[in-house]
Structure 1
Amino acid sequence: MTAGPRTATWREPGRDPGERAAALIAEMTVAEKVAQLSGIWVGAAEAGGVAPHQHDETADPVDLDALLPLGIGQLTRPFGTAPVDPQAGAASVAATQRAVTAANRFTIPAVVHEEILTGLAAWRSTVYPAPLCWGASFDPQLVRRMGERIGASMRALGVHQGLAPVVDVARDLRWGRVEETIGEEPLLVGTLGAAYVRGVQSAGVIATLKHFVGYSAGRGGRNMAPVAIGPRELADVLLPPFEMALRAGARSVMPAYNDLDGVPATGDPDLLTGLLRERLGFTGTTVSDYFAVAFLHKLHAVAGDRTAAAALALRSGVDVELPTVDCFGPPLVAAVESGAVDEADIDRALLRVLRQKIELGLLDPGWEPDAPGPFDLDPPESREVARLLAERAIVLLTNDGTLPLRPDARVGVVGPRADDPTAVMGCYAFPVHVGGQHPDVPIGIEVRTLLDALRTALPDEVPFAEGCPVLGGDDTGIADAVALARDVDVCVLALGDQAGLFGRGTSGEGCDAVDLRLPGRQEELLDAVLATGTPVVLVLLSGRPYDLSRQADRLAAIVSGFYPGEEGAPALAGVLTGRINPAGRLPVAFPGAGTVQPGGPGAPLTGPSEVTSVDPTPLFPFGHGLSYTPVTWSDATAGGAEWATDGTLDITLTLTNPHDRPASEVVQVYLRRTVADVVQPTQRLIAFARVDLAAGARRTVRFALSADLTAYTGRGGEKVVTPGGAQVLVGASAADVRTVVDVELVGERRVVGVDRVLEAGVSVG
């Protein structure tokens, strides 16, 4: 084959990307078209536990020599499959791109994608806090800054697409991927997810929303389990974060692994075409989750073979199969040639793929891959953002006055999370996700442990005993911890999760929990240390909340850090010693005694009841968090007692910091409907504002609440704003309500669409 003419329509940068893409498609063979609709994962066989059991063993082996002349759609994880020096990796990617463009007759480069959930998943790259920790910050501006840093690293290395953010709403705390969610309230998830998208894509790269839609609601909290929720829960709880992130400009969407009421998302045209494209107006690319197209045949059994799976996914709206050539390969070509698949379906997906490559500049004349280097993937600017976000997100749950630690106190440290640098990292952080398969390779970045940080922060010697591992251990280790605790004034006990994949941890993808007791013997260790009578400060480094109801009232203090990243240990030490004023708020509630899911803001029943023997009241509610310098609130006032169904309600309050050090507060606004057409949550978050106050400062916070924020899915399946009674609750958590404003929604019943207002107007003066 010879190269296409350099003056072809599709080469002209001034033309519309869609027009250019269509012109190129007209010149391509079926095999060349299909080649653009999948990735190539070089080294996947050596990836080990990065994606075990998932590949279809009946698939044909990948023959790179045969594929290159046809073109390559995507390169899968060249930095995130094994530890690769950034300079060498960038040079290798550039060389591969040159080989790809030289071999295919249209010189089309590949899109390079990587995981970016807690930063770019590459060796020596910054490990930021996990998404649940973003949620604890309640700080969209800071999350956007993090996204900007991640996007800049991607662009520097030649990476075009990142597989994040996860905008699933946490629904069952037993699910291993709760750590990847931003929280349990749709507004919080959507606001921070949209901020992350804007940050990443500001660098000219692509963010990918995961997982569309319902994945977090699997039965029993099991990964990839069937989802059997109603249409209102889907529309009013799980879908809004996707809507918000799509409005932010997200250019790619990944369908979920699960089936929704028996229909797998990867093969659901109503979901991927009817809802995502026709109703929500999405025009970007859909990329399958890894091996999910083959799963239509292999796991879901809704397709008889890989060819049928490819046809179903393609017709439903999947544009690209990841991570490597399988169903969207020779089986799909054969299906088109036999007439089993319409070539128009190939062209529809290809138009989106090529348009995106054109928008990335990959088909402009003169495009060349480069690897200038040298690369610093963990520069001071990135570490600073990681530090600020970690400090913003540490949550002080209880404190009897033991914190901050007295300078003269003899402090001992116990626990399996105290002296492990990976204790602050989620399962998609490179040192956990990939580095765990390469124990002989250094971690690649500076990560201090909590023990290291406390020994630096405290003036005297700090003794340490592990007590027990996260899983396993023996009586001797617990006895050593007890002996240490008896000999100090305060015991800092660091417990929690080991992030991992597919059963190699206690939190993370494929690491679901049967209950919410602390893993292994950690609860036994906690009880034994408490029995010494020494004040115990529990530091929880985990990917989910755990049931602490049996110990909470005996602990001197509880501090929660949801995988706060590479700067997390100094942030935790700063809170413990008082250098940092704790400012985090819970993005998910902690369960009460014996429950697996607390009765948080979205629950239909709260508190003790005669109709059930289970009390769903959370131990610590959504939005909860203490400070060393509590802010003084004034009563919130409303602009009136009536709220027009097509109007806006103004809420105003004043915060004052009477202390001699800075403070930070998160003002939360909840809606409770007293009359509605269908059952509504007891309350749901409709606005929030992170407010920083200098020493002695006084600030006024104003919310402009559009009536659209009261919309819900009515009996006819449409989003409606209805007249009737309501309460607006303003407070510091879902349970700490400072002001209740009774209002009456007045006016006509309104049907609202995808263009409705999704966020309140917020001003802080």
Structure 2
Amino acid sequence: MVVDFDELLSRLDLSTKIRLLTGADMWSLPPIPEIGLDRLVMSDGPIGVRGEQWSSADPSIALPSPTALAASWDVDLVRRAGRLLAREARRKGVHVLLAPTLNLHRSPLGGRHFECFSEDPYLTGEIGAAYVEGVQEGGVGTTPKHYVANDFETDRFTANVVVDDRTLREVYLRPFERVVLGAGAWGVMTAYNSVNGTTMTEHADLVNGVLKGEWGFDGFVVSDWTAVRSTEAAAMGGTDVAMPGPSGPWGERLEAAVREGRVPESVVDDRVRRILRLAERVGALRGPVPDDGAPVDGVALAREVAERGFTLLTNDGLLPLRDVRTLAVIGSAAGEARVMGGGSAQVFPGRIVSPLAGLAERAEVRYAVGTDPRIRLSPLARPATAVFLDEAGGVLAEQPLATAEARWLGRLPPGVDGDRLKAVRLRTSYPAEVSGDHQLSVAGVGAFTVTVNGTAVFDETVELAGGDPAMAFLSPPERRVRVPMTAGETYELTVTHPAGAFGGMAFVSFTLGHAVPSPGEEELMAEAVRVAGECDVAVVVVATTPEVESEGFDRTDLALPGRQDELVRAVAAANPRTVVVVNAGSPVEMPWTEEVAAVLLTWFPGQEAGTALARVLFGDAEPGGRLPTTWPRRLEDAPVTNVTPVDGVVPYDEGAFIGYRAWERSGRTPAFWFGHGLGYTTWSYDSIAAEGTSVTVAVTNTGPRPGREVVQIYVSDDSGRWLGGFDVVEADPGETVITTVFLPERAFQTWSDGWRTAEGEYTLQAAHSVADPRLSVTVKI
């Protein structure tokens, strides 16, 4: 049935139309039953679907980080991941997934790069388009974000990016152009920052002019949360929906602006049509989208994505492991994997397989912590109960939780009356296995009372430092207390925190952390060295922490936190058969790479981390990843680093020269180039031919086992080199595969008051990485 949007629009008065342009709450737009419009629910991603509750009571599949998705260079795999996320969204009643993130790895110091795909605009666009297509094939909308030039976190609400038109078009807008024109995205999210002096929620030139006008975008433009700070300017600037709501600068103020003639009603009508079109697409207007009936094994797909993204950086032949009886597994991240980045990307999976657990299925494992770089205590991994209390201490409701984490952002659990809610109490028990002084912690903002067996051990108010209120959820302050415990005894623990709902929205976020008594860093290090020396192979898992990679702040350096570099060197000295597993979402310095047998990058590997790691280390699966971003040897070598505004401004003076293009122009050599990654077999590049803008390459698997290769095509002229296309091929030993890569028109165009094909001679290279070209051919365009 064709929906007549104009007829529906004619049945709405101005107040109702205005109401539809602002959130009804934290995550949804209001229903309008008289025209058959249901609530439109949005949810954060991008590696899972959180839903309206930020709580372990509503678990989600947790895929690997977007950098891992991009490391696969596999658009079909990413499309399948998108379909899984669509099914997860529909299961949770979500119509729009607030993803993917298309900002670029301009500087290695970007704190949120794990949530972006790549330093390269073409690779970002292709992976992003596959993600959008997969999600939207499942009847769920996407909002590629953050439009545009939000490539850092420092002062993200107020920073002004100064960038010339050519760079904006050829680099930062290009992934958005790809997902709008090629993948047909149903939404776009505008960024907090300004571009050339105008905040993005008011940027008529880039939103009305480029996005809606030039590209013909017919979807809806939603602000990042709280990014709309004006009435007329944002309404006229192209923003369609101001989130969250219902309070904010729109509502009654926007209605008054329309009635007084400062904003034409036709502007409001255009925005309402876009929302109705979205509702029709996602089944919130004409009924639910039919289920395609295709079952998806989320656990198996999460494992497959992890394996395909794992990137083998070095290998002296030790991997895949063979005839290994005893395996030393070392590092705090081995026992408790960091499977996702911090911030709005966080979800609560129903299960997490740690590297320790996964490897214990394959060999006799001996575990040692070695060193623990974490600044905060991890939430107590025990089942807990959240108790919602009224003013008199009466119980409004209870909700079971998988761990001691209490989080509700926007919506309280069913049955909780926000007007009566005065406090939340987290209750759990802990059976001590070790005698001594245990540490308990509270991470959160506000007043907290912690009791152990009914006795208060902490009763204080915790203040938030800094000016970003989002940090209360993303990176709250922590306070600790020491509590003596006796092995064999069970301790009843509670944390009570005043809470309520404000304007119908809940803001509850705190955790109860725990750590067992520790013998001290020197003893832990010595134990790791001893265990490594006693085993056939040592696997050291090193990682960043939430204080290094998260939403809301940028990095200050690329060093692994704590004493992890020292740990790697000590273990490698004790056992030359040492594999280092790097559990990080974006580049870190690795000064010990030449001292170890192999380095495997797992990114943030998602919930099936340990299962995937065991399969890759023991050769059941090949590490399929290729770097989507260049890894510096040292931060000071990186050609582009600035992420901190000066007088409110971040100048993109380097133009199009970011990532590998900047490295090549600088003449410096990184630790690992864009596109690098090893497998468990070898490949020969046999022939190359070009016809117009298509390139045909023949490659042969010359190794002893089936393998996977990413054939990368680079285009070059006198101005430099850039990625023009790629394809993933698979072959058995001795098998030759022929692939044809079709290069897009943009690969040969530049921007100068419009797209212009730069006619002339180009060299096309078939390469294993940007630094490892194998074959070339010259074409004239």
TM-score normalised per structure 1: 0.75
Structure 1 position 586 matched with structure 2 position 570: no
The match for 1:467 is 371
Change in CA separation of 1:352 and 1:547 when aligned onto 2, cut-off 3 Å: same
The correspondence for 1:717, drawn from 750, 753, 758, is 753
Corresponding residue SS for 2:142 = strand
Q: CA deviation at 1:149?
A: 1.6
Unaligned segments of structure 1, at least 5 residues:
1-12, 45-72, 76-99, 295-308, 436-442, 500-504, 610-614, 640-647, 675-679, 746-765
The match for 2:253 is 331
The match for 2:529 is 482
| Paired residues for 1:260-271 under 5 Å | 260-271=195-206
Q: CA deviation at 1:144?
A: 0.6
Aligned equivalents of 2:73, 2:162: Cα separation in 1: 30
The match for 1:9 is none
The match for 1:760 is none
The match for 2:312 is 396
RMSD: 2.9
Corresponding residue SS for 1:211 = coil
The match for 1:619 is 671
Structure 1 position 234 matched with structure 2 position 168: yes
The match for 1:206 is 141
Corresponding residue SS for 2:333 = coil
The match for 1:91 is none
Aligned equivalents of 1:657, 1:368: Cα separation in 2: 47
Change in CA separation of 1:388 and 1:605 when aligned onto 2, cut-off 3 Å: closer
| Paired residues for 1:670-749 under 5 Å | 670-674=714-718, 680=719, 682-705=720-743, 708-713=746-751, 716-745=752-781
Structure 1 position 257 matched with structure 2 position 299: no
Whether contact under 8 Å (1:601, 1:734) holds in the other structure is no
Aligned equivalents of 2:298, 2:101: Cα separation in 1: 21
Whether contact under 8 Å (1:602, 1:684) holds in the other structure is no
The correspondence for 2:234, drawn from 309, 313, 318, is 313
Structure 1 position 454 matched with structure 2 position 359: yes
Q: CA deviation at 1:451?
A: 0.6
Higher mean C-alpha displacement, 521-530 vs 185-194: 521-530
Aligned equivalents of 1:710, 1:608: Cα separation in 2: 20
Corresponding residue SS for 2:212 = helix
Structure 1 position 413 matched with structure 2 position 329: yes
Whether contact under 8 Å (2:630, 2:659) holds in the other structure is no
Aligned equivalents of 2:375, 2:574: Cα separation in 1: 23
Structure 2: which amino acid aligns with 1:521?
R
Structure 1 position 292 matched with structure 2 position 227: yes
Structure 1 position 553 matched with structure 2 position 594: yes
Unaligned segments of structure 2, at least 5 residues:
52-57, 377-519, 641-656
Aligned equivalents of 2:662, 2:549: Cα separation in 1: 28
The correspondence for 1:493, drawn from 540, 545, 551, is 540
Whether contact under 8 Å (2:703, 2:734) holds in the other structure is yes
Structure 1: which amino acid aligns with 2:161?
V
The match for 1:424 is 339
Change in CA separation of 1:331 and 1:466 when aligned onto 2, cut-off 3 Å: farther
Whether contact under 8 Å (1:631, 1:658) holds in the other structure is yes
The match for 1:522 is 564
Aligned equivalents of 1:342, 1:622: Cα separation in 2: 49
Change in CA separation of 1:126 and 1:239 when aligned onto 2, cut-off 3 Å: same
Structure 2: which amino acid aligns with 1:253?
V
The match for 2:132 is 197
Give 1 or 2: higher strand fraction: 2
Change in CA separation of 1:26 and 1:518 when aligned onto 2, cut-off 3 Å: same
Structure 2: which amino acid aligns with 1:213?
V
Change in CA separation of 1:369 and 1:146 when aligned onto 2, cut-off 3 Å: closer
Aligned equivalents of 1:342, 1:581: Cα separation in 2: 59
The match for 1:362 is 284
The match for 1:343 is 265
Whether contact under 8 Å (1:173, 1:596) holds in the other structure is no
Q: Deviations over 1:463-504 (max 9, x none)?
A: 3324223348844433333333333343211112234xxxxx
Corresponding residue SS for 1:287 = strand
Matched length:
613
Whether contact under 8 Å (1:393, 1:561) holds in the other structure is yes
The match for 1:763 is none
Q: Deviations over 1:439-461 (max 9, x none)?
A: xxxx5x22210011111112x23
Structure 1: which amino acid aligns with 2:16?
E
The match for 1:386 is 302
Change in CA separation of 1:31 and 1:429 when aligned onto 2, cut-off 3 Å: closer
Structure 2: which amino acid aligns with 1:718?
G
Q: CA deviation at 1:513?
A: 0.5
The correspondence for 1:629, drawn from 657, 681, 687, is 681
| Paired residues for 1:25-64 under 5 Å | 25-41=9-25
TM-score normalised per structure 2: 0.73
Give 1 or 2: higher helix fraction: 1
Aligned equivalents of 2:665, 2:325: Cα separation in 1: 41
Aligned equivalents of 1:605, 1:203: Cα separation in 2: 39
Q: CA deviation at 1:340?
A: 3.8
The match for 1:57 is none
The correspondence for 2:554, drawn from 512, 521, 529, is 512
Q: Deviations over 1:156-180 (max 9, x none)?
A: 4432111111122221121111011
Higher mean C-alpha displacement, 395-404 vs 270-279: 395-404
Q: Deviations over 1:94-132 (max 9, x none)?
A: xxxxxx55xx65553221111230022253221111111
The match for 1:595 is 636
Q: CA deviation at 1:235?
A: 0.6
| Paired residues for 1:89-128 under 5 Å | 100=31, 105-106=34-35, 108-122=37-51, 123-128=58-63
Aligned equivalents of 1:604, 1:187: Cα separation in 2: 13
Q: Deviations over 1:621-664 (max 9, x none)?
A: 1110111111222142345xxxxxxxx24433221123442100
Whether contact under 8 Å (2:204, 2:236) holds in the other structure is yes
Corresponding residue SS for 1:216 = coil
Change in CA separation of 1:598 and 1:415 when aligned onto 2, cut-off 3 Å: farther
Aligned equivalents of 1:281, 1:369: Cα separation in 2: 25
Structure 2: which amino acid aligns with 1:671?
V
The match for 2:711 is 667
Whether contact under 8 Å (1:448, 1:566) holds in the other structure is yes
The match for 2:177 is 243
Corresponding residue SS for 1:348 = helix
Q: Deviations over 1:407-436 (max 9, x none)?
A: 235321111211114x12233687xx365x
Aligned equivalents of 1:601, 1:174: Cα separation in 2: 13
Structure 2: which amino acid aligns with 1:470?
R
Q: Deviations over 1:69-118 (max 9, x none)?
A: xxxx616xxxxxxxxxxxxxxxxxxxxxxxx55xx655532211112300
Structure 2: which amino acid aligns with 1:30?
L
Whether contact under 8 Å (2:725, 2:742) holds in the other structure is no
Aligned equivalents of 2:215, 2:267: Cα separation in 1: 20
Whether contact under 8 Å (1:117, 1:428) holds in the other structure is no
Change in CA separation of 1:215 and 1:601 when aligned onto 2, cut-off 3 Å: closer
Q: CA deviation at 1:395?
A: 0.6
Higher mean C-alpha displacement, 703-712 vs 343-352: 703-712
Q: Deviations over 1:719-748 (max 9, x none)?
A: 211223322121100101112323444xxx
Report the identity percentage: 33
